Chains A and B, each alone.
Chain A
């Protein structure tokens, strides 16, 4: 079982709290990839990464048919030694309306939605530039990635399994 390190937990926070934007990569079942940057990110326990379902389109469609997903740090601070990681695993979009006791690798829908279901109020996008920030929040759920493997994206080490 994967256990994220302290440095990983620190990086997997919203940028305003010292974390970083992340890329969420998914694929259709027929193999057409999709990658989009996400601001709302957090960790839950040792092996789960959470992303807000806000304005997701193809990502959402892909996850409905194929749970395989990767989260990678978008701004990996390469010069400082880095947050050069790709987190690989199975993801689900826990939307409002899921049965509260729905269980995804040990965490329930109620825990997730109670904790991160109103993410705009929890961590408002104060650091996001005005020409980028959304006018109205439109959260529909929380994507939960159960991390099964972590790979390096460091120059010369890309593809090496770290955890």
Chain B
């Protein structure tokens, strides 16, 4: 099943960037911050610097799983967790499509992009819905958000 993120999810991810978690095959986690993110269909593309790529390459070459949540105020306001499999790219159409914008966001330090193909979306709001898988919700993810009363479809400018 292909995942289509809601407009609210897309807005928060692209505005705030994300904290990414990867792990070695034996389960040792690693976290980096991805300051630039772009969503297209069921793929989220993160712009990364050389240091960020260096920090995750050892895990990614052996284990493609990537889990991520929205950074900054998105940690509380955009209470989602996304999971999928990731691939690093340093050229090609996907890289070219975001390179200019990502490079600006990273102060000219863009080195590669990490493309994560999404397979799972979870709600992380505290309470009875914590840990609920959203992408399999029978009435869809937008209805799920509506039922939670989430009306802030984009973060405030200061976040």
Which residues of A are at the interface with B, using a C-beta cutoff of 8 A?
Answer: 21, 23, 25-37, 39, 54-55, 57-58, 62, 66, 68-70, 72, 74-76, 84, 86, 128-129, 131-136, 151, 153, 155-160
Contact = CB atoms under 8 A, between A and B. Distances in A.
A23 B131 contact: no
Contact of B67 (A30, A34, A54): A34
B51 A157 contact: yes
A159 B51 CA distance: 7
Contacts of A33: 21-23, 29, 65-67, 83
Give the interface residue-count category, chain B: 35 or more
The A interface is mostly helix, strand or loop, or mixed, namely loop
Contacts of A158: 32-33, 49, 51-52, 55
Nearest to A152: B51
B71 interface: yes
- Quick one: which of B21, B72, B148 has the most chain A CB within 10 A? B21
A132 B126 contact: yes
Contacts of A34: 21, 67, 81
Nearest to B106: A155
A37 B148 contact: no
B26 A76 contact: no
